[in-house]
């Protein structure tokens, strides 16, 4: 938004790549890659999010802090004009299953899933597939 002292830049998307096993009905493998149409200069405010190095690839990061962000629709069904974020904590798969099975009964919650939770906090509707950092 114009009143948050941000300096946005507009960058186009050259290509999107969806996970080959993405299932829209079950919402499994809800991840993809975006190739920008030009290089972006990194600054103190604009940084890449890197994939884990090989020694951390099997780490589930349980209890690690995480942030979810997006411009989705809030509880009043209003689209946000500014980027929203919520601070969460990565949880183990057993806790994830306990908390989400009633909501996502058709979704397989297994080692492919990363769950993060904080009481009273959530991402917004429309933020599915957005970043968990």
- The residue among 81 and 69 whose pLDDT is bigger is 69
Strand partners, 90: 116
pLDDT band at residue 38 using 50, 70 and 90 as cut-offs: very high
Contact 116, 72 (CB under 8 A): no
Q: Is the pLDDT of residue 1 over 50?
A: no
Contact 14, 36 (CB under 8 A): yes
Per-residue pLDDT tens digits for 109-127? 887 778 888 888 877 777 7
**What's the pLDDT at 57?**
67
**What's the pLDDT at 29?**
82
Distances (CA, A) of 129 to 30, 35, 56: 6, 16, 22
Per-residue pLDDT tens digits for 93-111? 888 888 777 776 667 788 7
What residue spans define the domains of the chain? 13-117
Contact 30, 92 (CB under 8 A): no
Pick the CATH number of 13-117 from 1.10.10, 1.20.1440, 3.30.70, 2.40.10: 2.40.10
């Amino acid at each position: 938004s114009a009143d948050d002292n941000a300096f946005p830049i507009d960058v186009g998307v050259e290509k999107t790549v969806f996970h080959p096993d993405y299932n829209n009905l079950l919402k499994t493998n809800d991840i993809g890659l975006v190739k920008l149409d030009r290089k972006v200069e990194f600054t103190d405010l604009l940084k890449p999010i890197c994939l884990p190095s090989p020694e951390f690839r099997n780490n589930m990061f349980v209890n690690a802090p995480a942030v979810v962000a997006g411009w989705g629709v809030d509880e009043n069904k209003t689209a946000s004009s500014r980027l929203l974020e919520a601070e969460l904590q990565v949880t183990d798969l057993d806790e994830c299953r306990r908390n989400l099975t009633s909501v996502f009964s058709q979704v397989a919650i297994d080692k492919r899933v990363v769950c993060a939770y904080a009481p009273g906090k959530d991402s917004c509707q429309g933020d599915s597939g957005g970043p968990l950092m």
